[in-house]
Amino acid sequence: MADNKVKSIVLPIAIIVVVGLIGGIILLNSRLDKLSTGTDVIGNNQNLRLLSFKAPGMFCIGCSASVEGYLKAIDGVQSVNASLATKQVDVIYDSSIVGKDVILGNEILAAYGKQSVSDVSYTGGSQAKTPSTTNLPQALALKLQDAAGIVSQLSNPVDYQGQFDKIDQAIVQQDYQQAEDLLDELLAQLQE
């Protein structure tokens, strides 16, 4: 009698475990196939959309990197470009997998905000032109992070917005030397 009771409990559990393992293997193989064939990469998909918005609270290179990392982790998101220089975030996503509300509802955006939301069909090419701050030269990125960190601790960080705007403009124009020079001036001023 005890054997029948054990069998009646163990057998369903074993079936659930085996089915779960098979499902996991199928899902893993599907993801690997997408990666190896490139079907998960931006291509000619009529379901792709470009979601663009401003994240005004992004203040340093770590902010933009965090936004990119959190949003890229969402299933269905193909590409994320968060520019500290313009405070612009461009997200290319597959609308058959994820909706814009899920992306915009991500907890990271509660910290940085979102304004001027635009959601259009993505046709490929160079629609998303915002330069990513995560691709800045390392020395410039570190200086920018240092300056933003120092200013964010001050009681009057808004007083430095004009200087950051000039730095941001130089970054947008990809004049990294000018941006670094402006950052050096700002850091010297902050150390006085």
Q: Are 41 and 78 in contact (CB under 8 A)?
A: yes
- Phi, then psi, of 164 in degrees rounded to 5: -65, -35
Q: Alpha-carbon distance 176 to 186, whole Å?
A: 15
> What is the C-alpha end-to-end distance of the chain, expressed in Å?
85
Q: Alpha-carbon distance 183 to 191, whole Å?
A: 12
- Phi, then psi, of 50 in degrees rounded to 5: -110, 115
- CA 154 from centroid of its chain's CA atoms: 27
Q: What is the pLDDT of residues 13-43, one digit of tens each?
A: 444 433 333 433 443 444 444 444 344 445 4
Provide the pLDDT for residue 61.
72
Q: Are 67 and 89 in contact (CB under 8 A)?
A: yes
Domain parsing of the chain, residue ranges: 1-40, 48-121, 136-191
CATH number of 48-121: 3.30.70.100
Q: What is the pLDDT of residues 93-148, one digit of tens each?
A: 999 999 999 999 998 888 888 888 888 888 775 444 444 555 677 788 778 777 77
Upper half-sphere CA count for residue 168 (Cβ side, 13 Å): 18
